[in-house]
Amino acid sequence: MASLLEEELSERFLRRVANDVPENISFEFTSDKAMLAQYYQMRSRLSMGNCDVWDIAQEDALDRQGKIIIARQGRLCVAGANMLICSPRNRLHSTIEQDGIDLRNLLPELKLEHTPYAEFSRFVTLPEFADNKFRLQFHNNFKNRAQAYGVQYCFILAPRSWIQEYQIFCEKNGEKILELSHIEIPENSRYGGVPMALLGMQFAPLKTFSKAKTMLAVEA
C-alpha cells in the first residue's frame, strides 16, 4: 500500500505535468498529525547528504520539547525542521547539551543563562526543494519566528562536512558567525558514525519585531 507521502508526490507530479505553475509555499508551526507524519517520514527517507543523522521516523522527546516548523504546498509537506528554544524561563537542553556539553559555561561571554537561544535541527527537504533559494526562505522564516520569541543566538549541530557551507550561507544572509572551534563534539551512536560539528550565529536585529509577534499570535 502506497504511503501518504508517495501518494502526495504522485499527485503533485501529475498536477505539475498538467500545470507548470508552482503552488504557493506556506511556512508554519504545526501540530497537525498528517503534516507531522509526512515530516517524520521525510526524515527517515530523505536525510540530508544521504546519511542517517536525522533518520528518525517518528516523534521523540526532542520533537515534543521543540516546535516543528514546516513548509507546505497544499497538503504536501515539502520541508521541515525542529526549533528548540532554551531560555531562563524554559530550561531545556539542546541536542549538543544532551551530549554533556554545557554551552552556558563554554560561552560565558554570551550570557546564555540570561539570554534565550535556539537550536535549528533535523532539517530535511524534498529533493526538488534542495536549493539555496528555498533554504534562504526557510532560514529567514525560522529566524523571524525565533526572534519573535526573543532569541538572539542560534546553534546548528550538523555533519562536519556541511559546516563550512552552512557558515558561508549564513554569513551571506547577514548573520554573525560565533567562534566555536574550541568545542569538540564527542562521537555518539545516534549520529551513525558521522563526525559532527557545531555552528553558532548571532541574529541581526529584527526590524519587524511587531509583525513577527503578530504572525505568531495569529497562528496560536
Q: What is the pLDDT of residues 56-74, one digit of tens each?
A: 778 888 889 899 999 999 9
**CA-CA distance, 209 to 220, in Å (whole number)?**
17
Q: How far, CA to CA in Å, does 71 sit from each of 39, 42, 129, 140, 169?
A: 10, 12, 10, 12, 19
pTM attached to this predicted model: 0.77
**Which residue bears the cell 543566538?**
153
- What sign for the dihedral angle of Cα 144, 149, 151, 156? negative
Q: Residues 112, 87: contact at Cβ < 8 Å?
A: no
Q: Give the pLDDT confidence score for residue 17 in this predicted structure.
A: 35
CA atoms within 13 A on the CB side of 72: 19
The pLDDT of residue 98 is 76
Cα dihedral 79, 85, 91, 96 sign: positive
- How is residue 62 written as a grid cell? 526532542
Residues of the chain with pLDDT under 50: 1-2, 9-10, 13-22, 48-52, 209-212, 214-215, 217-218, 220
Closest C-alpha among 166, 187, 186 to residue 175: 166
Is domain 4-219 given the CATH code 3.40.630.30 in the classification?
A: yes
- Let me know: does 160 contact 197? Beta carbons within 8 Å: yes
Q: Give the model's pLDDT for residue 152.
A: 92
What backbone phi and psi angles, to 5 degrees, belong to 196?
-110, 155
Question: How many CA atoms are closer than 13 Å to the CA of 82, on its beta-carbon side?
Answer: 22
101 CB contacts (<8 Å, ≥6 apart)?
Answer: 183, 185, 186
Give the residue extent of every domain in the chain.
4-219
Res 141: pLDDT: 93
